[in-house]
């Protein structure tokens, strides 16, 4: 008997819960609404989706999403919300990530039985999950490359997002590496545009990084955005490598799972996953994907770093959601080796370090700040120092204000960005 | 001066509309919220996103999507909806489809200024749009391959969706081709699973199709689902071709834009695009994508057929939306050659033909029926005949009931599936 993949959903429906859940299992396996020739009992038994569990949550008067057709075409009186777990045989798809997503998500979002439908999580048999590429570097491998073990990897994003020539970018990076950063990334809005071809940009930027390494022994990681078609990504990956580059970045939703798999296959450096577009898949609570489900596809495909926003970020995500996402990145799927670095960014300064550390219980993360470094009143070097000091304090359990008493950069940052506990 | 890409959004915001629109343009170009060194006026001038137009729509008391932070952190009193058009310089990305999507969509869905954000449409300079691959076959090329010019291409989907062996599939196809179909496709839930490898399935299915061709001269098109990683898709494409196959199908959202581009580059047969997963991107009216915007990425990437659902379908999409989508598929982006076949399916029988034809004004479409063929009381051949008769009547402007007077298969179908104007 084939092992089974379990998928958990939150749904809302005007139908009896079992009927709605069975329509989901049917749509994603036997897949038709009427009995058709050839669909024998034996095939059903072997391949059908199965309703494993239904937990009723609450009831509402109005359908959350429109387009649902209540039973018997009469206006429904109530819509029940529930958590539904389905299972599907592994054999229905084999070891195949794009088709895994087709099976557990696919047409479900359009089912007329449902006025709310969100994929919350996926549970894969370990033997099955372990057949996917998974991260090549993950948390440990990334730490080794940057030689930072006992605190977050501190980084920044090259700004402005668009318009800088390769030489201007390298000039900025020259200053940033001198400031003591571990990690620098491109913005997602600059990949390989005519005004800054990766070939020239990575050459210029790695020049700055290597000169800094010659002076200090420290090699900063640079996530060069190579988002593009597959041929371009593979070419640019090699260009990055030839320039001594040590990381590539990809906008995962815009490249897609198959493109990412093609890159992972050839990649010799960590893949920094930018999740822009994620809001379209997640922002409505009864539609799309929870991060727990979403990130699994990309981790199995082999990314090494996943963005999670940050506490008191400038976007619309709550702190609770950010922390939940970061914990998920640090939770094994099939083995300890498939955990990935959660990447905190957006509005970050030292002010969020204590709560971030307290909530996560570890410092296995990347902590990116833009204005939190460049906007420090005493310049970028003080900006980086204040972040490191903030994390030292957080990890030692010392209140920031107290630690700031004899750490000037932190004190100045609190005056400038503070109070502690706010975003910037 | 660089040409500009225009993107139109529907938004909802508690902020003054201009401020909200400028935050969108800023986020997707200069991309930071504070002034940072190096961002000179000249760079802004050349690369900044621009607010082109704002049309206020209506006002609501409650935010539609949560997570928005009203101005000054006070509870907002009202949320204004508006259509906003932004423009971005082509130079910011170059000819690059994944990065085009990053730029016009990307982080926008998470902007805290917005309690609703949907990308409605994209307007690309023709010279720019014409640099993308675009469909290789489109409407005309597909018609030539199936040798059907004066009516819809009539097709079906092999069911059950999962479990059939290659030989069982071929047996079904044997019957289906004899029924007089033009087109047969795999379900999206069967790609290359262990129990039905494409290599064996396409060999068996094309055997049936070629035997039928030897008898009748007619070659039925078979869209073989090769969804998978890039290497697999390219291999399977060649397997399909070597078996004399004439079409491949891909679950576009699960493969992604870069994967699709890689396939398009090597493809010698039409690419049938299955849009499953589309509901997650579209079902909430103030989040995600309108079909007008969504389909442009895939058509520019080079698909030939795009699913649009059908009138009175079994999913949650309205008839108006279906027709709008089909018209969009038939509307050129950069040239007459980049139009694609809209694929009607789900709950279709002859009963929807008159309205479909009337609404579209042409028969340049694929019309797929499952139960509408296999469920015909006199069998699949009568099922196919009734569909053709239904379309003859529709295109001649003769009411179905009248045409059925001397067309037995149509009459029997109306008795079975009817009344006319209903779905099945």
Which of these ranges, A411-420, B38-47, B129-138, B406-415, has the smallest mean pLDDT? Answer: B38-47
The predicted model gives A269-289 an average pLDDT of 98
Q: Collapsing DSSP states into helix, strand and coil, what is residue B235?
A: helix
A97 chain-B contacts, CB cut-off 8 A:
229
pLDDT (tens digit, 9 = 90+) per residue, A24-52? 999 999 755 445 555 577 888 889 999 99
Q: pLDDT per residue over B281-331, tens digit each?
A: 999 999 999 999 999 999 999 999 999 999 999 899 999 999 999 999 999
Only one residue has tokens 């980049």, namely B338
Instruction: Report the distance separating Cα A7 and Cα A49, nearest Å.
Output: 10
pLDDT of residue A33: 40
Nearest to A65 by CA among B247, B316, B308: B316
What digits encode the pLDDT tens for the residues B342-380?
Answer: 999 999 999 999 999 999 999 999 999 999 999 999 999
User: Do A265 and A233 meet the contact criterion of CB atoms below 8 Å apart?
Assistant: no
Is pLDDT above 60 for A396? yes
Mean pLDDT to the nearest integer, A330-350: 96
Taking the Cβ of residue A394 and every Cβ of chain B, the question of whether any pair is shorter than 8 Å is answered with no
Q: What is the pLDDT of residue B30?
A: 77
pLDDT of residue A34: 46
Tell whether the model's pLDDT for residue A248 goes beyond 70. Answer: yes
Cα separation, B206 vs B134, whole angstroms: 27
Residue B395 tokens read as 């295109």
Ranges A38-42, A146-150, A212-216, B69-73: which has the least confidence: A38-42
User: Measured between CB atoms, does A106 come within 8 Å of chain B?
Assistant: yes
Express each pLDDT in A118-147 by its tens digit.
Answer: 999 999 999 999 999 999 999 999 999 999
Other Cβ atoms within 10 Å of B374 Cβ, number: 23
Q: What is the DSSP letter of A315?
A: B
A69 CB-near residues (< 8 Å, 6+ apart): A112, B316
* B254 in contact with A, Cβ within 8 Å: yes
Cα separation, B91 vs A364, whole angstroms: 38
Residue B206 host element (H or E): helix B198-216
The span from the CA of B416 to the CA of B101, in Å, is: 46
Q: Which string of DSSP letters, residue by residue, matches B109-124?
A: GGBTTEEEEEEEEEE-
- Note whether A422 contacts B: Cβ–Cβ < 8 A: no
What is residue B37's predicted lDDT score, i.e. its pLDDT?
A: 56
Question: Which residue is associated with the tokens 């795999």?
Answer: B186
**DSSP letters along A213-249, please?**
HHHHS---EEEEE--S-HHHHHHHHHHHHHTT---EE
Beta strands in B47-149 (DSSP E): 50-60, 79-89, 114-123
Grouping H, G, I as helix, E, B as strand and the rest as coil, residue B47 is helix
Asked if B159 lies within 8 A of A96 by C-beta distance, the reply is no
Interface probe for A, chosen from B12, B101, B102, B199 (most Cβ of A below 10 Å), is B102
Backbone angles phi, psi at A240, to 5 degrees: -60, -45
B192 shares contact with chain A (CB less than 8 Å):
yes
Q: Are A304 and A140 in contact (CB under 8 A)?
A: no
To the nearest whole angstrom, how far is the Cα of B283 from the nearest Cα of chain A? 7
Provide the pLDDT confidence category of residue B33 given band limits of 50, 70 and 90: very low
Measured between beta carbons, the chain A residues lying within 8 angstroms of B108 are: 279
Question: To the nearest whole number, what is the mean pLDDT of chain B?
Answer: 94
Dihedral class, residue B41 (left if φ above 0, else alpha if ψ from -120 to 50, else beta): alpha
**Using CA of residue A287, residue A256, residue B129, residue B319, what is the dihedral sign?**
negative
Which residue in the set B29, B287, B374 is minimally distant from A162, CB to CB? B29
Cα–Cα distance for residue pair B97/B95, rounded to 1 Å: 7
Mean pLDDT of chain A: 94
How many residues can be counted in chain A?
424
Cβ-based neighbour number of residue B418 at 10 Å: 17
Q: Where are the alpha helices (DSSP H) in B243-302?
A: 252-255, 257-266, 278-282, 291-301
CB contact A293 to B (< 8 Å): no
A67:B261 CB<8 A: no
Residue in chain A lying closest to B172 (CA): A38
pLDDT band at A70 (very low <50, low <70, confident <90, very high): confident
Close Cβ partners of B267 (under 8 Å, ≥ 6 residues apart): B136, B237, B248, B302
Residues A230, B262: C-beta atoms closer than 8 Å: yes
Please provide residue B111's backbone torsions phi and psi, each rounded to the nearest 5 degrees: -65, 125
Measured distance CA(A100)–CA(A263) in Å, rounded: 19
| Nearest-angstrom CA–CA distance, A155 and B330 | 48
Residue A111 β-bridge partners: B315
User: For residues B4 and B79, is the Cβ–Cβ distance under 8 A?
Assistant: no
The predicted pLDDT at position A31 comes to: 57
Angle at which helices A257-266 and B230-242 pack, to 10 degrees?
A: 110
pLDDT at B421: 76
Yes or no: say if B243 and B206 are a contact pair by the CB < 8 Å rule.
Answer: yes
**How confident is residue B1, by pLDDT bands cut at 50, 70 and 90?**
low
Decide: A267 and A136 in contact? Cβ < 8 Å: yes
Residue A234: strand, helix, or coil: helix
């Amino acid at each position: 008997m084939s092992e089974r993949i379990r998928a958990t959903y939150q749904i809302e429906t005007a139908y009896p819960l079992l009927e709605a859940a069975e329509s989901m299992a049917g749509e994603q396996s036997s897949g038709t609404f009427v009995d058709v020739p050839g669909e024998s009992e034996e095939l059903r038994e072997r391949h059908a989706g199965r309703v494993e569990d239904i937990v009723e949550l609450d009831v509402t008067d109005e359908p959350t999403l429109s387009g649902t057709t209540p039973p018997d075409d009469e206006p429904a009186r109530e819509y029940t919300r529930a958590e539904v777990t389905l299972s599907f045989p592994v054999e229905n798809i084999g070891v195949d990530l794009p088709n895994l997503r087709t099976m557990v998500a696919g047409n479900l979002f359009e089912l007329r039985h449902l006025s709310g439908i969100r994929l919350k999580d996926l549970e894969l048999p370990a033997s099955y999950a372990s057949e996917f590429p998974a991260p090549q570097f993950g948390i440990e491998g990334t730490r080794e490359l940057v030689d930072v073990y006992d605190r977050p990897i501190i980084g920044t994003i090259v700004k402005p997002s668009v318009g800088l020539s390769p030489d201007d970018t390298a000039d900025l990076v020259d200053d940033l590496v001198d400031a003591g950063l571990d990690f620098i990334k491109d913005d997602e809005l600059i990949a390989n545009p005519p005004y800054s071809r990766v070939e020239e940009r990575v050459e210029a930027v790695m020049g700055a990084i290597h000169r800094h390494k010659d002076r200090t022994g420290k090699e900063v990681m640079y996530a060069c955005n190579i988002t593009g078609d597959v041929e371009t990504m593979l070419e640019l990956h090699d260009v990055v490598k030839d320039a001594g580059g040590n990381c590539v970045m990809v906008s995962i939703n815009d490249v897609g799972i198959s493109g990412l798999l093609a890159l992972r296959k050839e990649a010799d450096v960590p893949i920094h996953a930018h999740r822009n577009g994620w809001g379209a898949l997640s922002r409505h609570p009864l539609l799309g994907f929870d991060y727990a489900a979403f990130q699994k596809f990309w981790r199995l495909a082999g990314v090494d770093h996943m963005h999670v926003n940050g506490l008191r970020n400038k976007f619309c995500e709550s702190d609770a959601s950010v922390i939940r996402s970061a914990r998920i990145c640090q939770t094994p799927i099939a083995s300890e080796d498939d955990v990935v670095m959660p990447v905190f960014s957006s509005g970050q300064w030292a002010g969020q370090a204590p709560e971030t550390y307290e909530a996560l219980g570890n410092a296995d993360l990347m902590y990116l700040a833009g204005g939190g470094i460049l906007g420090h009143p005493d310049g970028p070097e003080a900006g980086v120092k204040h972040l490191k000091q903030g994390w030292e304090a957080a990890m030692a359990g010392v209140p920031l204000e107290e630690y700031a008493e004899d750490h000037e950069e932190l004190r100045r940052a609190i005056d400038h960005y503070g109070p502690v506990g706010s975003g910037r």
